[in-house]
Every structure is written in C-alpha cells, then in structure tokens.
Chains A and B, each alone.
Chain A
C-alpha cells in the first residue's frame, strides 16, 4: 500500500465547475502538505501548502487538511480551461522538506 493515495482520475468538468481533488495518507507523522500542478512537459509547480488542519484559501483555490482523518483536499472554484493539468498532492515529515512523498496525480480537463 502506498503512503499517499490519490484518486487517479482522469477528471473532466465543464468550465465554471467546482473541482474537488483528494488524497489520503497512512503516515500520521506527515506534517507538511502541498498541492502541485504539472502541465504537460513541465515540472511540478507549487500551488498551495499548509501544515495545520483546516482550510487555506488563495484566490480560486482552497486547500483543506484533516489530520484526524488523514485526508487532504484541493478545491478549485470557477474552473478554467487553463486549469487543465495534472494535480499532485505531496507531503513531508518535519525537517525533511527535501523528501516529498507524492500521490499518483489526478489529470484534470476543463472543457470550454
């Protein structure tokens, strides 16, 4: 069993929809949680990060962490065709920031 499980998708939504992306993890020692976006033929780009349970909002994006359930989510409001990409959750232990453990990634397609 992988340490981080992510809904594989692919996910196809119409423009303007609310998108929900999710990951579960098994290691309760994970302390830092991130969401990366990866466009085709590019490296992952950090979208959001957090270390505490609760919600964190940045524009159209909201990251949610529930440490008691070992579950994290990313919500995208008013999705745009430019949001079409692969979304990867990642997490790391305290003081091991260079060793990210990634989910498998969810491929998202937003149709105009």
Chain B
C-alpha cells in the first residue's frame, strides 16, 4: 500500500521567489493537512483540506496558501519567500472524520537562500 507521497524531497529557492509543493495522499484518504517543522518552533499546523475545501487554517501569513484537487491531491504554495520559511514541510492524510491516525509523508525540505 503506497504511503503519502510528497514531491520534491529537497528544494533550494532564493528569497523573494515562490514555491509549490505537492502531496499525494494514500488512496481513499480525502482529508489532507499540511505542517511546517523547524528546530525552533517544532511542528506547526498550516491548513487542512477536505473535498477541495479548506476546513481549518493555522496562524500563518497569507503568503502560505494551499488547494486540493478532485482526486484529493493537494498543493501548497509559498509566495515571496523569506529566509525564515526554510523548514521541513509535511503533509498528512486520513479518512474524513478520523480524529487520529493521520499518516505523514517524508516531507519536502525547503531551503531559502
């Protein structure tokens, strides 16, 4: 059974650029959440999507956005990159209504220079 797939695994971008990260959930999982992980702040919730609708949003600036497609695949976008956006971005998926049992991908390591 394939897990949660995130692409690319590593990315280096320049300050001011924008970036798009992709997440393919486990087959049948329709809920997708995104998290940012940094050494200083730990794992922080970005947003959650279900049936192409954003269901929850964390405390991040509007430069962080996301979307979900009809096949449940999700993308997140960060515009006008800042050095502080360097982090591991993790995607997790689950069946809707599941309060635990979210499966995480291995993440995309973004470095902003």
Q: Which A residues contact B (CB, under 8 angstroms)?
A: 31-32, 34, 36, 41-46, 49, 51, 88, 90, 92, 94-105
Contacts and interface: CB of A to CB of B under 8 A. Distances in A.
B104 A96 contact: no
B33 A99 contact: yes
Contacts of B103: 46
Nearest to B91: A43
Question: Which size bracket describes the interface of B in this complex?
Answer: 20 to 34
Contact of B100 (A32, A101, A105): A32
B107 A96 contact: no
Name, among A90, A96, A98, the residue most crowded by chain B CB atoms within 10 Å (CB to CB). A98
Q: Is the contact region of chain B dominated by helix, strand, or loop, or is it mixed?
A: strand
B104 A43 contact: yes
A97 B103 CA distance: 12
Interface of B: 4, 31-33, 35, 42-45, 48, 50, 55-56, 58, 90, 92, 94, 97-107
Nearest to B105: A43
A100 B43 CA distance: 9
Q: Is the contact region of chain A dominated by helix, strand, or loop, or is it mixed?
A: loop
B100 A46 contact: yes
Contacts of B35: 100, 102
Contact of B42 (A34, A95, A104): A104
A98 B104 contact: no
Nearest to B42: A104
